[in-house]
Every structure is written in C-alpha cells, then in structure tokens.
Chains A and B, each alone.
Chain A
Amino acid sequence: ETGVTQSPTHLIKTRGQQVTLRCSSQSGHNTVSWYQQALGQGPQFIFQYYREEENGRGNFPPRFSGLQFPNYSSELNVNALELDDSALYLCASSLGVTGLNEKLFFGSGTQLSVL
C-alpha cells in the first residue's frame, strides 16, 4: 500500500476525445510526477508538478497537460486523443523535488484504451 490512489482504474475513449485522469497523493507530498507505460515498455516521464507549478517535462506534446491542487490531488489531461495514447498512466508522489534520497510512491495506474 503506497498511499497513492488513481481513478478510474480503466477507461475507454475514442480518437479525438479528451480525457482527465486523477491522482490522490500521500498527505504532505508536494511533488507529483506522471508516467506513461505503453504495453511491453517501461514508464516514460510525462511531467512533474511541485507545489502546483510544472517543474519539468518529458518529450510529450502540449496536448498532455496537468494540474496539481493544494489538497494533494492532481490531474492529467489529454486532448485530441490518438490511438498511440493507449497505455497505463502512472502517477507517483514524493515529499520533495530532487534528491537521491527521495522515494517515489507509485499508484496502481489508469489503463486508458483509445479506439
């Protein structure tokens, strides 16, 4: 039990639609990161938020956006869905931003299927 919950667990959308995925971090964790895990691949870093500000971004287009709220919840929004967006989306929270000693706590993920 990591204390990080994601919803929904599964979601089916059609190409061109928009989707919002939600994450509830551990209380006190100021940092949330989102990862995309395609089938048979390792997780790929999408972006990170620290105290409600985007703090770093991977190689994902602007149609991937996020929000972080003061109550330790966060959202990943994807506009104009494409078939290749089908993947498991993971959120991970941590106390701080940097550091070799920072431990990431991962949620179980949201499985998104785009038809």
Chain B
Amino acid sequence: GNSVTQMEGPVTLSEEAFLTINCTYTATGYPSLFWYVQYPGEGLQLLLKATKADDKGSNKGFEATYRKETTSFHLEKGSVQVSDSAVYFCALFVGGGSNYKLTFGKGTLLTVNP
C-alpha cells in the first residue's frame, strides 16, 4: 500500500534559521507529492507539489524536490519566520483510480520563536 513517513516533531527554531522537514514515501505506482500546511484553527492548505521525479515545488520561500531514487520529498526553507509556525503534512497521490485520495503523513509541528 501507500504510506508517508515524516520526521517526528515538534521542531522548534529561532527566526531566520534554516528549516528541513524530512519526508519519505512508499507507493504502488508513480505518485505525485505534496506538502500541506495547517495553521492553528484553520484547514489544510496546499503549500507546494511536484508531479514527477526531479521536479522542484516551491512557494513562499519553501522548496521540496521529488527524489525518486531515495523516495523522498524533504521540505526546506532558508530563513523561517514566526508566521511559519504551523503543522506541516507531507502527502502523496497515486493516479489510476477514479477518486482523488491523498495519503498523508502524521504531520510535523513547527514552532518559530522571535
């Protein structure tokens, strides 16, 4: 089956620090990969995505590269801000079925201190 493994949290950083959140996956088929973010009291929002190997998704200073050889999609940001404090979810989608079902990791709580 399909599964996503994220690094355990919580992650606590100071403002302007470098962020990496590791994500690896197992999939039957060729998945598309996503990072979603959940701010306190809000629903999930798509942060970035990559649909094929070596693609780099990017948004709001966050980046992740689809690495098929290591089955990974690590999230990075060069300089985090307090406003980046949220829960981050790595997710995958495998096509071929008739519904758009996402498989999520457990999430990583990021806290950025001023």
Chain A residues near B (Cβ < 8 Å): 2, 4, 31, 33, 40-45, 48, 50, 55-56, 58, 90, 92, 94, 97-100, 102-104, 106-109
Contacts of B46 in A (CB 8 A): 103-104
Q: How far is the CB of A37 from the nearest CB of chain B, in Å?
A: 8
Inter-subunit contact B102/A97 (CB<8 Å): no
Inter-subunit contact A56/B101 (CB<8 Å): yes
A102 to B41, CA, bound (A): 24
Inter-subunit contact A100/B45 (CB<8 Å): no
B4 at the interface (CB under 8 A from A): yes
A33 to B60, CA, bound (A): 27
A50 to B98, CA, bound (A): 10
Q: How big is the B interface, by class?
A: 20 to 34
Inter-subunit contact B107/A31 (CB<8 Å): no
Please, which residue of chain A has its CB at the minimum distance from the CB of B96?
A: A98
A42 to B45, CA, bound (A): 14
Inter-subunit contact A90/B100 (CB<8 Å): no
Chain B residues near A (Cβ < 8 Å): 4, 32, 41-46, 49, 51, 89, 91, 93, 95, 97-107
Question: Which interface residue of A48, A103, A104, A108 has the most chain B CB atoms within 10 A?
Answer: A104
From A4, A31, A41, A58, give the contact of B100 (CB < 8 A).
Answer: A31
Question: Which interface residue of A40, A98, A100 has the most chain B CB atoms within 10 A?
Answer: A100
A108 to B106, CA, bound (A): 18
Contacts of A43 in B (CB 8 A): 44, 89, 102, 104
26 sample A-B contacts, Cβ–Cβ < 8 Å, listed by A number: A31-B100, A33-B100, A33-B101, A40-B106, A41-B106, A41-B107, A42-B89, A42-B104, A43-B44, A48-B99, A48-B101, A55-B98, A56-B97, A56-B99, A56-B101, A90-B44, A92-B43, A98-B98, A98-B99, A98-B100, A99-B100, A100-B32, A106-B43, A106-B44, A106-B45, A107-B43
Q: How far is the CB of B71 from the nearest CB of chain A, in Å?
A: 17
Given contacts A90-B43, A104-B46, contact A42 B105 (CB under 8 A): yes
Contacts of A103 in B (CB 8 A): 46
Given contacts A41-B106, A42-B89, contact A102 B100 (CB under 8 A): yes
A43 to B107, CA, bound (A): 9
